Amino acid sequence: MQPARPLAALLAGAVFIALSPIWVRVSEVGPTVSAFWRVMLAVPLLWGIVLASSMRATGSTESRPSGRLLLAAGIAFAGDLAFWHWSIQYTTVANSTLLANLASIFVTLTAWVLWRQRPRGLFLAGLAAALVGVALLVRASLSLSPTALLGDALGVVTAMFYAWYLLSVKGLRARGAATLQLMAVTSTITAALLLPVALVSGEPLLPPTHASWLKLLGLAWISHCAGQGLIAYALAHLGAAFSAVGLLLQPVMAGVFAWLLLGEPLGALQVAGGAIVLAGIYLARRGSD
């Protein structure tokens, strides 16, 4: 039986992150600018938490994080956010979120290609299932609009950048870096990288209304800080296989929120493709343990 508090944190974190594409859609700023403010508004809160935690901690033995890995994580996260926010603009929230969650499959494929870590047969079965599901999602997008297909492609690119981010964070954690410190440093680097991109994008940098600022704060504080923080806490207390299943709640809830709040319909082909993608991701994660 799983501990109640970490389980609640895992599920709440998945739901909070599932709200992020909704915030992006209603934020009243462009996708690049919303990606910038997502991390920029989170930075003061994250560093405040890190400072408060360090003042309470005694006898800490955490090692100094690798500068190269921190920069790599920041670049990867900047690419992840930028491409995902553009994907959300072009395709459905459900498709964009499902395809971004292919990151775990790209992590194992990278380990296979670069480090010759041959995956188990269960991973290959999950990969095959995920590809079938992606094909169904793409077919559903073709019936919507040409831009939906572009959004799906951007969702896959998002997964590649997120896989790079996960591998960088894994290396940093293996060297003793703390989760909160990683979130604060990588968010700071990501904000610094996204600012010039936002400035040259042609999108207005400042939100037009007070309500727009509140939506961006929701994206930064609820989805980014609270969502990622709760999941990080839960992963330290729950088994990897169980956590992988629990985190599949995120793309499911993103589709539900888009249906309820944005009126995005979920066709039968899209539901079938999404279910197969989720099953594939689950099998691939089990086969990667």
One pLDDT digit (tens) per residue for the chain, 289 residues: 557 788 888 889 889 999 999 999 999 999 999 999 999 999 999 999 888 877 765 555 555 667 888 999 999 999 999 999 999 999 989 899 999 988 888 888 888 888 777 778 888 888 899 889 888 888 888 777 778 889 999 999 999 999 898 888 888 877 777 878 888 999 999 999 999 999 999 999 999 999 999 999 999 999 999 988 888 788 777 765 566 667 788 888 998 999 999 998 888 888 898 899 989 888 887 776 6
Sign of the torsion angle spanned by Cα atoms 128, 17, 29, 262: positive
Helix (H, G, I), strand (E, B) or coil at 5: helix
Rounded to two decimals, what is the model's pTM? 0.88
Residues shown for the chain: 289
263 Ramachandran zone, left/alpha/beta (phi>0; psi -120 to 50):
left
DSSP character string of 159-193: HHHHHHHHHHHHHHHHTT--HHHHHHHHHHHHHHH
Q: Which two tokens stand for residue 150?
A: 């572009």
Distance CA 228, CA 206 (A): 25
What is residue 107's predicted lDDT score, i.e. its pLDDT?
A: 83
What is residue 229's predicted lDDT score, i.e. its pLDDT?
A: 84
Distance CA 204, CA 220 (A): 18
- Tokens 């992988």 correspond to 244
Label residue 46 exposed, middle or buried (CB < 10 Å: 0-12, 13-18, 19+): buried
Distance CA 109, CA 99 (A): 16
